Amino acid sequence: MKQFFSAIWGIALMAFAISSCNKESGKQPDNPAGGFDKTAMLSYYADNLIIPGYQGMQQKIAALKTASDAFIAAPSASSQFALKTAYTETHLQYERIAAFQFGPAETSLLDLFLNFSGGLDYKFSTDGELTGFSVDTTTIANNISSGSYDLTAMTRSSFYAQGFPALNYLYFGEGAVSKMDSKRAAYINALLARMKTLTDKVASDWTGYRSTFIGNTQTNVGSPIGNMVNQLAYQLDLLKGPRIGWPLGKQSGGKIFDTKVEAYYAGISVALATENVRSLKKLYTASGSGKGLSDYLVALNQSALNQDVLTQFDVVVAALQAIPDPLSVSLNTETVKVDNAYKEIQKLLTLLKTDVASATAVQITFMDNDGD
């Protein structure tokens, strides 16, 4: 009996030792012996896609501020044209970092404040509701005239009155040139300042977060790998929903919502959507460096699946490129092409949500699960 209890104590101690190393091992590099080096993959993502992505965003916002200042100083069709280039560059850059909604970006709620998509849990079937890529022009007008507002407010009208939704309206919307005055200029500058503050914060937070990110090679909920696989699926859900499908009327029995496309007033929705998918493919392949999720799948003997995913990415990009911008017009005139892109997005979404998520064994919820 005595020996038995000491054996049990031994086992308990060993288990405790293993599980406590387990917690510390978050800092150790993943062992690449006989398999795939996940630490190298995460390092590549941090150093070549994520951190440079936020630095690029900082530069684009700075350039946008210059163009915006010139436009405010002398509002005209030609300064507006110059501004549009800078705006488009900045918004395209945002699409390149859109999938990194975890860690610092999630803490700062960058996606809500810069480019609110309305989320997925909203029904998109009634006019006038703030859903998808809406712009809250009423709140914007109130904010401009009153001059007092709280851009940190956690409400949908606050999200829809700042960041890209508000800027693209103030720069390219009705009366963008004619209504320019000091109050409007002040609001624009407040929005730009907020975008800069948030982006700077995320960019600088990544310096510290990098080691946490590359040190965690788990695949559970909230782990970097789990986050990236889930973000791939989430971004495709956004494409299928608020970016393409819902404005096309997929959730409203064919009723088209042409003003609810992303960056409606700039008229660059298709370009943004295309850049979004291209960036997702870059994330998936780690820019073809041999260190990406695609290579992880190959290491897991899923080459055929990987090939299908790569092909489908290209199909989706081509299907989107076939749609002429502005999307708000194409929704009515090129319905077949938009519908085709929608179908191809759904195929890619299926591959990522079922096959890739299954093969990489990532979890999507925190709840206990004893294996389906």
Residue 253 touching another protein (CB under 8 A): yes
Residue 251 touching another protein (CB under 8 A): yes
Please name which of 234, 239, 249, 241 lies closest in space to residue 270, comparing C-alpha atoms. Answer: 239
Residue 365 touching another protein (CB under 8 A): yes
Which of 47, 59, 123, 324 is in the footprint of another protein by CB under 8 A? 123
- Which of 142/252 has CB closer to another protein? 252
Helical packing angle, 77-97 and 269-285, nearest 10°: 30
Peptide bond into 326 cis (omega under 30): yes
Residue 33 touching another protein (CB under 8 A): yes
- Which of 38/282 has CB closer to another protein? 38
Residue 245 touching another protein (CB under 8 A): yes
Taking the complex as a whole, the smallest distance from the CB of residue 277 to another protein amounts, in Å, to 18
- DSSP per residue, 281-322: HHHHHGGGTS-SHHHHHHHTT-HHHHHHHHHHHHHHHHHHHT
What are residue 59's phi and psi, to 5 degrees? -65, -45
Residues in 339-358 at the binding interface with another protein, rule: CB under 8 A: 346, 349-351, 353-355, 357-358
- Which of 195/357 has CB closer to another protein? 357
- Contact assessment for residue 30 and residue 50, using Cβ atoms and an 8 Å cutoff: no
- Contact assessment for residue 90 and residue 61, using Cβ atoms and an 8 Å cutoff: yes
- Contact assessment for residue 283 and residue 52, using Cβ atoms and an 8 Å cutoff: no
Residue 127 touching another protein (CB under 8 A): no
Residue 36 touching another protein (CB under 8 A): yes
- Which of 98/229 has CB closer to another protein? 229
Which of 154, 193, 304, 318 is in the footprint of another protein by CB under 8 A? 304
Please name which of 38, 26, 22 lies closest in space to residue 228, comparing C-alpha atoms. Answer: 38
Helical packing angle, 269-285 and 224-238, nearest 10°: 150
- Which of 28/212 has CB closer to another protein? 28
Which positions touch another protein (CB under 8 A)? 1, 4, 7-8, 11-12, 15, 18-19, 21-22, 25-26, 28, 30-31, 33-36, 38, 119-125, 216-220, 225, 237, 241, 245-246, 250-254, 299-300, 304-305, 346, 349-351, 353-355, 357-372
